[in-house]
Copies of this chain bind each other. A is one copy, B any other.
Amino acid sequence: MAGIRNTLRLPELQRIDPTSYAELRKGMELLERHYRDMCDIEFTIERGKLWFLQTRVGKRTSFAEWVIAFDMWQEGLVSRDQAFLRLDPNRLEQLFKPVIREDQKGSEKPATKGLNASPGAAVGRVVFTADAARDWADRGEKVILVRRETTPDDYHGMIRSQGILTSAGGTNSHAAVVARGEGIPAVCGADEIRIERAARAFTVRGTEVKEGDWITIDGTDGSVYVRRLDLDDPPLARAVKGDEEARQEKIWKAFQAFMERADQARRLRVRANADTPEQAANARARGAEGIGLCRTEHMFLGEERVAAVRKMIFADTEGEEREALDALMPLQQGDFVGIFEAMDGLPVTVRLLDPPLHEFLPNHVDLAVAVAVAEERGDGEVVLRDEKLPLEEARDVLAKVEELSEANPMLGLRGVRLGIVKPGLYAMQVRAIVEAACDRRAVGGHPEVEIMIPLVATQEELRQMREELEPVAQEVLSRRGVELPLSWGTMIELPRAAMVAGEIAEVADFFSFGTNDLTQTAFGFSRDDIGKFLGMYEERKLVPANPFVTIDRAGVGRLMQMTVGAGKAVNPGLHLGICGEHGGDPASVVFCHEILLDYVSCSPFRVETARLAAGQAALGSSDQASK
């Protein structure tokens, strides 16, 4: 109803004569211009009277939705909260996404259309493999990855692409889910596209497009253009960056007004998952009130660190291990200083190292093949994708890779288990964190540090880790003469942890729900592997919804609820949050509000989404309000 009733209140529309087709046509154009959208109106005129046959809410862009809601409130048709509750937080991201320049969007005809899988426009040169995407991107090219469909093996190329285009798969395909998760525009299931990988080209309606050719995709409406178009930042993105002209637009006023309402209303705090100073600064600019998950994996990567990490993995003696860790410590200290600076005065939850160590070594199959081939050839050197190794060394690495190889790495030696098996490792990280916090204090900063130990299943794991690590932190603080309250907590990401949450809460200052892993273990779904059947599962309604997108209330959600109840009963001061990707999903944010979490943490580009969803949750859901 909303759109229609409102449009009829526009003065120009009220002057239209409903008996004249030309007049009506003019009115429709007026509407479309005003809302930058097509209005979904069906009508007829009988005996001189205008009848609306369909009054359903039309397909509006997010832009139209916000402007309409703002207008309706301003015109007094609805209250501010009614207008506010009608906004769809799922589409808020669209307001910030690049668009095709208005004149070109109007004049260019798409070569084909697919599904609007992830919003925003992207322009780039065509590549057909994830490796090519990575290689081209690394030398500064903008690329669009074109594939039949994607798999988890393509991830490294996907995240370096401007956009993703697939010829198969739906809006819940791997490509679509990853693209939305990473904020990358995508068009999926564009089935007129025929990819000929051998020729490194695709054809679409007779046109051939080769590797390296420019194309443009619009993930907001599914259009694919086989030429290079120009993109614009949308007015809201420009306004946020301070563009005065853009700040005159109604969308900016609407955005300001409604986000202010969201922030007033919400009980949930909103943090971001950010691993670097740049991400932290970006998140803060978008309204993040801290970091809920600062992953430390990347601090073990990069050319100058890889040697030390490998040395740590290969260490035969404690001395060698300590030497390797000592080399990493100052580098990681520097990383933390940058992050604490970007989030000065706001809490930063640092997660100690989580992934299995073999992730820092070459791929098992690749290495085994390279060694076998070198042996067969009598070469003294083994050539891998990223490096060359003397044969002897490659054999040693292979032996270590075999030793560390796991049947199910997701359920293997990682998280707190690593911390326990390699005690120097977490101690080094804690030292780097606390030294960095002291550095910040020394220049007048206000670091708020929370140390998070991942993958805990038993109380003893957390208790013994704290027993080992707190003195390490204390030693640094004493030496540097700094008083700094540290918060120690764990992720709740294993069903067993949820079942014994009361026990764990006795030794934790905070819990952060790792809903990605909790979903994986509760369902027995490896996120990397279920791509093969999740589509079919959703189609046949074998799962309530994609449980990696929206929290499965009946299963995972219930585990969370039990955890909150048991944890709070034992430790009323327990601070509770979520740092899985669900933290940026509006339906899941509502759930987090309901079960009384203190905060959600999400990707930086979802911060506004989470703020809006949290505000709506506090005021009652949109569905309830429109009744």
Tell me the A residues contacting B by CB distance below 8 Å. Answer: 152, 364-365, 368-369, 372-373, 376-377, 406-413, 417, 420-421, 455, 457-458, 460-461, 464, 493-496, 499-500, 503, 517, 520-526, 528-530, 532-533, 536-537, 540-544, 552, 554-556, 558-559
Contacts and interface: CB of A to CB of B under 8 A. Distances in A.
A542 B409 CA distance: 20
A555 B420 contact: no
Contacts of A421: 532-533, 536
| Chain A binding surface SS class | helix
A554 B494 contact: no
Given A413-B529, A413-B532, A536-B421, A522 B499 contact: yes
Contacts of A543: 457-458, 460
Given A421-B532, A464-B540, A493-B524, 20 more contacts: A364-B365, A365-B365, A365-B368, A372-B372, A376-B377, A410-B524, A410-B526, A411-B525, A412-B530, A412-B532, A417-B533, A420-B540, A455-B524, A460-B541, A460-B543, A464-B542, A494-B524, A495-B521, A495-B522, A496-B552
Contacts of A458: 542-544
Contacts of A461: 542
A460 B521 contact: no
Nearest to A375: B373
Contacts of A457: 522-525, 543, 555
Contacts of A152: 407
A523 B554 CA distance: 20
A580 to B, nearest CB: 15
Nearest to A460: B542
A544 B503 CA distance: 13
Given A420-B536, A540-B464, A500 B407 contact: no
Nearest to A406: B529
The 8 A-B pairs of least Cβ separation, nearest first, read A411-B526, A495-B495, A412-B529, A408-B526, A496-B555, A407-B528, A496-B522, A406-B529
21 contacts: A364-B365, A368-B368, A368-B369, A372-B373, A373-B376, A407-B409, A407-B526, A409-B529, A411-B524, A411-B526, A411-B529, A413-B530, A420-B533, A421-B532, A460-B541, A495-B495, A496-B523, A496-B524, A496-B556, A499-B559, A521-B522
A558 B411 contact: no
Contacts of A529: 406-409, 411-413
B464 A406 contact: no
A368 B368 CA distance: 8
A496 B543 CA distance: 11
A155 B456 CA distance: 29
Given A496-B552, A554-B499, A526 B464 contact: no
A487 to B, nearest CB: 23
Contact of A411 (B372, B408, B455, B555): B408
A526 B406 contact: yes
Contact of A555 (B365, B495, B525): B495
A454 to B, nearest CB: 10
Which of A373, A413, A523 neighbours the largest number of chain B CB atoms within 10 Å of its CB?
A523
Nearest to A532: B413
A273 to B, nearest CB: 21
A565 to B, nearest CB: 14
A265 to B, nearest CB: 31
A377 to B, nearest CB: 7
B364 A503 contact: no
Contacts of A521: 411, 495, 521-522, 524
